[in-house]
Homo-oligomer: A and B are copies of this chain.
């Protein structure tokens, strides 16, 4: 059997898509904004979807005679054991539509209004909006910039946790900086969480996308004490480019966490998932690893291309080492573009990347650029950025 390739969809097809990626900016801009990719669906995943459609198997979904959500939970559990040697209990899995739903629900279940919720900065915006929408107080924990690299600041984490933080939202691999935290870093964070009795909500949605053979370490896999305070959130929708299917899971690392959650949310309140999303995710998790290998290879090549061309043609742009994800965190500060990096990219370069201010008010000199696309489209974006920087410099 030949190994699967991870193909990018043709640009003319992508331009017909009705998704955020291809419609959030005007058509004269190249999309690099929302955290999605241009990858074609992995064949094993597409087959699962096509089977449902071909058979019109659209009744109330069971799998192996049980509610389909249980099959999703079992697939998650199998995969965690296979990839990480982590025995994640399928009975402790709650399917949800997406990670924002999961984050919102965990905040409500494990904290009270007025409590403090922390996350690293820069941060995925919904962590902050979910905290505000539920009437909690957001405590920013800035990652420490060491040159272009971002590192944990454990002293500052200690100060934050000791100030009364009840819940900490970890994002690993980290969006938007592309850091993949090491086992030692995670262990140190968990020890602090234990010391101050902080619940960890661990967004690991980019865990399949660690590059250069790095290791992803699920926080809950660090040991029973780590698991006992950790809710893990993940989904196949980033790795396999399936956000339209709205399918994710939450895993509760202890009976006590699960019971607390269930006390807050009666059965069925959080909804159920489509059979499409469930079947696609199970296929991805059970049979998608060879495709993921090919996708990671492609991502590494695109990351290198972006790095090498910027280093050669726009050396003043700061380039945060990308250890994982399909997103680059670029620092345009040495160019000091007026109005911030986002406005510069969108208005002058016609590249639809998000300005860093979306990820925190201190980051307007940065931009997050999604590179999960073809070499042709990536090159076109780089061409535009380099040309705009040169126009600016004149």
A244 and B65 contact, CB distance less than 8 A: no
B97 touches A273 (CB 8 A): yes
A96 to chain B, nearest CB (A): 6
A63 near B246 with CB under 8 A, answer: no
Interface string of A14-43 (1 = CB under 8 A from B): 001111111110000000001010001100
Q: Is the CB of A55 within 8 A of B17?
A: yes
B97 touches A58 (CB 8 A): no
CB distance from A286 to the nearest CB of B (A): 16
Residue of B nearest to A242 (CB): B58
CB-CB nearest in chain B for A271: B97
Contact with B along A33-77 (1 / 0, CB 8 A): 010100011000010011011011111111101000000000000
B243 contacts A59, CB within 8 Å?
Answer: yes
Q: How many residues belonging to A are interface residues under a CB distance threshold of 8 Å?
A: 62
* A270 cross-chain contacts in B, Cβ below 8 A: 101, 269-271
Partner of A62, one of B18, B41, B274: B18
Complex CA distance for A118 and B50, rounded to whole angstroms? 43
The answer, yes or no, to whether A108 is at the interface (CB within 8 Å) is: yes
Contact of A50 among B53, B62, B133 (CB under 8 A): B53
What's the Cα separation between A41 and B60 when bound, in Å?
A: 14
Measured between beta carbons, the chain B residues less than 8 angstroms from A242 are 58
Contacts A53-B50, A273-B97; is A60 near B268 (CB within 8 Å)?
no
Cβ of A162 < 8 Å from any Cβ of B?
Answer: no
Does residue A388 face the partner (Cβ distance < 8 Å to B)?
Answer: no
Query: Smallest CB-CB separation from A52: which chain B residue?
Result: B244
The complex places the Cα of A56 from the Cα of B129 at a distance, in Å, of: 30
A85 interfacial by beta-carbon distance below 8 Å? no
| Binary contact track A103-140/B, C-beta < 8 Å → 1, others 0 | 01100100000000000000000100110011000000
Which chain B residues border A272 with CB–CB below 8 Å? 97-98, 101, 246
- When C-beta atoms are compared, the residue in chain B nearest to A50 turns out to be B53
Q: What residues of B have a CB within 8 angstroms of the CB of A9 in the complex?
A: 56
Nearest residue (CB) in B for A126 is: B268
A266 CB to nearest B CB, Å: 4
Shortest distance in angstroms between A110's beta carbon and chain B's nearest beta carbon? 14
Chain B's closest residue to A38 (CB) is B59
Asked whether A275 lies within 8 Å of B244 as measured between CB atoms, the reply is yes
Q: Which residues of B contact A101 (CB under 8 A)?
A: 268-272
Seed contacts A18-B57, A58-B243, A105-B269; 14 additional CB < 8 Å A-B pairs = A13-B56, A18-B63, A20-B59, A34-B60, A36-B59, A46-B53, A59-B244, A61-B243, A61-B244, A126-B268, A244-B274, A245-B274, A246-B272, A246-B273
20 sample A-B contacts, Cβ–Cβ < 8 Å, listed by A number: A17-B59, A23-B62, A36-B60, A40-B56, A41-B58, A46-B53, A49-B53, A58-B243, A59-B243, A61-B243, A97-B272, A100-B268, A101-B270, A126-B268, A133-B266, A244-B274, A244-B275, A245-B276, A246-B271, A270-B271
